[in-house]
Amino acid sequence: MIKRLVLVGLIGLAMALFTAPMLAHHSFAAFDLSKTVTLVGVVKEFQWLNPHSWIQLMVTDSNGKEMEWSIETSSPSGLSRQGWKPKSLKPGDHITVTMHPMRDGKPGGSLVTTTLADGTKIGGSPVGDAKE
C-alpha cells in the first residue's frame, strides 16, 4: 500500500528562490527549509482549516512500519488561489508529497508539492507564491 520514504536532501537554488512561504499566521522556523523530503503514502485526512490546512498521511517505511505524518500547508484561501479545493484530496488517495521536514525530527513538515497517483499535480506550491 505504502511504498517508501526517501530523503532527497538539499534543495536547489531555484527552489530556494521560488518557494518562499506565504505570509502565514506563524513562521516556518520549525521546519528545516534547507531540506526536502519526499513521502509516498495514503491520505488519512485532508483538514481544510484556518489558519492552516493539513494533510494527514499514512506512510510505511522500508521496515514495514506505518506512521502518520502531518504535513502543514497554507490557509484555505491561500490554497484556493493556487487551484486547490476542499476535496482535492480524499481519504484513501495515494499521493506523493515533497515537504520541508520538522527540525525536531517529528513526523511532520511544510508542504512543497503534491502529486496524485496518476501524475496529476495539485495547484502550485501552496507555501509560496513569491512570483506572481
Partner 1 sequence: MRNRFLKQAGFSVALGMVMAQGAMAQAPDKVQSPDWTGVWRLKGSPAVMDREDGRSFVAGTRDHPPYNAEWEKRYTRDLVRGEHQGDANFPDPIVDTHTVFCAAGMPHLMGTPFDYEFVVTPAKTWIVADKETRHIYTDGRKFLPDDERWPTLLGTSIGHWENQTLVVETVSMRSDVWADTTPVMFSDKMRITERIRRMDANTLENQMTIADPVAFTKPWTFTKHYTLMKKGTWVSEPEKCGGPEDRNPIVNGRVISVMPGVK
Q: Please work out the total of residues on this chain that contact partner 1, with binding judged by CB under 8 A.
A: 41
- Which residues in the 74-103 window bind partner 1 by CB under 8 A? 75-78, 80-81, 102-103
DSSP string computed for 47-115: E--SS--EEEEEEE-TTS-EEEEEEE---HHHHHHTT--TTSS-TT-EEEEEEEEBTT--SEEEEEEEE
Closest Cα partner for 55 from 29, 87, 30?
A: 87
* 10 part of the interface to partner 1, by CB under 8 A: no
From the list 2, 3, 11, 28, which residue makes contact with partner 1 (rule: CB under 8 A)? 28
State in angstroms the smallest separation of the CB of 116 from partner 1: 23
Among the listed ranges 6-14, 35-43, 67-75, 116-124, the one in contact with partner 1 (CB under 8 A) is: 67-75
Nearer to partner 1, 53 or 114 (CB): 53
Rg for the chain, CA atoms, rounded:
14
State in angstroms the smallest separation of the CB of 60 from partner 1: 16
